[in-house]
């Protein structure tokens, strides 16, 4: 990708920088970087920050204006992502709705569904959770067993979902259900939009290793939703889900990958704290962390180029490559952070308060799993891209 900015993009970059400098102040500035994807810290403040962004016209870039978005080219969206990541603001609370469900609905939804659900997302009025993974059907998503069947003008849903990010705050869930139990594994699946405020939906928090409760498990016991709240065609939800996951592993990862560069700076500062000079081994690890952060950025830019131009690497392949690399790199970065902190890495604050680098070390342990496990991603790349033989499956 040619990173030389045209005069128009240079003006746009200055607009972004000026707005962030004027609005990322006060409590927002004091909570820079708070609430990463595996942490629900400072939720109310993050919601307030999202509403500040919405009021300034910086949420839902690229969405049609009729749905509350802001017309923006791919180049403008990229410039915004770069500048936004460098500013290190609080982590947004609306990622599920804005970055995942919203783009999926724009592509697969009906006009009525778009008009109903997209504007409240853009105004930060309704929150969303993703009902994909299940016990026994996480990486093997096609093995899901949550059932849905028609009862007049409604769908009735029974089953269980797990690892539902922000599920406890969600007003709505977009849920994969098996609607034709006799169809092959990747067919007979539909994506339903389900309201959480009803007796048949039981949401329970899951406490993670950081002490936070970002994830949830969700039980459906006779839950209901309207018959017209199917995203895409009935029994064709697998393709819709892959579109959502492609978004998650693709453009929405770019900003998170760019955060690695800020974390490398924090690690370097920690390694030099108190006038210490990093050892040779630690210097080597710091150099690798810096290199990994840049490669993660370049992978993201390569993906954006493929999406923008439709040429070069397959975006689906590149998104998997980016996901595998970034997960491994971030895990290594967390381990390097603890070595840089030395004995101080074992000290926590009052009520188990963790600093940013401790959060990175603990939180990244899950990155090899969420969003698609590394093993599954590597199998997909080897079989579908390199043409290697399929891994033997047990009968």
Among all residues, which ones are annotated catalytic?
248
Name the pairing type of β-strands 154-162 and 215-226: antiparallel
Instruction: Answer yes or no: are the C-beta atoms of 59 and 122 closer than 8 Å.
Output: yes
Q: Which residues on adjacent β-strands are paired with residue 225? A: 155
For 134, which DSSP code?
B
Nearest C-alpha neighbor of 74 from the set 313, 325, 317, 303 = 303
Distances (CA, A) of 248 to 37, 47, 183, 252, 270: 12, 20, 27, 6, 31
Tell me the torsion sign for CA atoms 385, 389, 392, 393. Answer: positive
CB atoms within 10 A of CB 315: 20
Contact 175, 201 (CB under 8 A): no
Q: Judge whether 130 and 172 are in contact, CB under 8 Å.
A: no
Strands in the chain per DSSP E: 128-131, 147-151, 154-162, 172-178, 189-195, 201-206, 215-226, 230-231
Contact 331, 364 (CB under 8 A): yes
Q: Is 191 left (phi over 0), alpha (psi -120 to 50) or beta?
A: beta
Tokens of 387: 């043409």
Hunting for tokens 């180029």 — which residue is that?
A: 305
Whether residue 218 contacts residue 167, with contact meaning beta carbons closer than 8 Å, is answered with yes
């Amino acid at each position: 990708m040619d990173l030389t900015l045209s005069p128009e993009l240079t003006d746009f970059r200055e607009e972004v920088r000026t707005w962030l400098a004027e609005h990322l102040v006060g409590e927002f500035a004091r909570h820079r970087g708070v609430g990463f994807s595996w942490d629900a810290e400072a939720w109310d403040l993050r919601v307030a920050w999202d509403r500040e962004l919405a009021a300034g016209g910086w949420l839902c870039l690229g969405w049609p204006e009729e749905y509350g978005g802001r017309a923006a080219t791919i180049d403008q969206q990229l410039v915004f992502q770069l500048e936004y990541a460098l500013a290190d603001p609080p982590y947004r609370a609306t990622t599920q709705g804005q970055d995942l469900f919203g783009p999926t609905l724009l592509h697969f939804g009906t006009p009525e569904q778009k008009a109903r659900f997209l504007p409240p997302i853009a105004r930060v009025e309704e929150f969303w959770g993703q009902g994909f993974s299940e016990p026994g059907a996480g990486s093997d998503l096609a093995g899901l067993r949550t059932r849905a069947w028609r009862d007049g003008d409604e769908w009735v849903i029974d089953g269980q979902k797990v690892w539902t990010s922000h599920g406890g705050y969600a007003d709505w869930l977009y849920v994969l259900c098996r609607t034709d139990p006799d169809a092959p594994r990747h067919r007979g699946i539909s994506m339903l939009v389900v309201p959480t405020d009803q007796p048949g939906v039981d949401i329970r928090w899951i406490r993670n290793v950081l002490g936070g409760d970002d994830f949830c498990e969700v039980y459906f016991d006779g839950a209901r939703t309207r018959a017209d709240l199917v995203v895409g065609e009935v029994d064709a939800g697998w393709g819709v889900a892959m579109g959502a996951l492609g978004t998650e592993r693709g453009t929405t990862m770019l900003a998170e990958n760019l955060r690695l560069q800020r974390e490398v700076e924090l690690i370097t500062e920690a390694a030099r704290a108190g006038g210490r000079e990093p050892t040779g081994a630690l210097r080597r690890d710091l150099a690798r962390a810096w290199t990994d952060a840049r490669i993660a950025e370049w992978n993201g830019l390569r993906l954006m180029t493929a999406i923008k131009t439709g040429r070069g690497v397959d975006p689906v392949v590149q998104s998997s490559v980016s996901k595998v690399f970034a997960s491994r790199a971030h895990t290594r970065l967390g381990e390097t952070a603890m070595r840089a902190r030395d004995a101080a890495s074992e000290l926590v604050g009052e009520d188990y308060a963790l600093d940013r680098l401790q959060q990175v070390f603990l939180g990244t342990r899950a990155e090899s799993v969420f969003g698609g496990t590394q093993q599954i991603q590597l199998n997909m790349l080897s079989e579908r891209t390199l043409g290697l033989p399929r891994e033997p499956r047990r009968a």
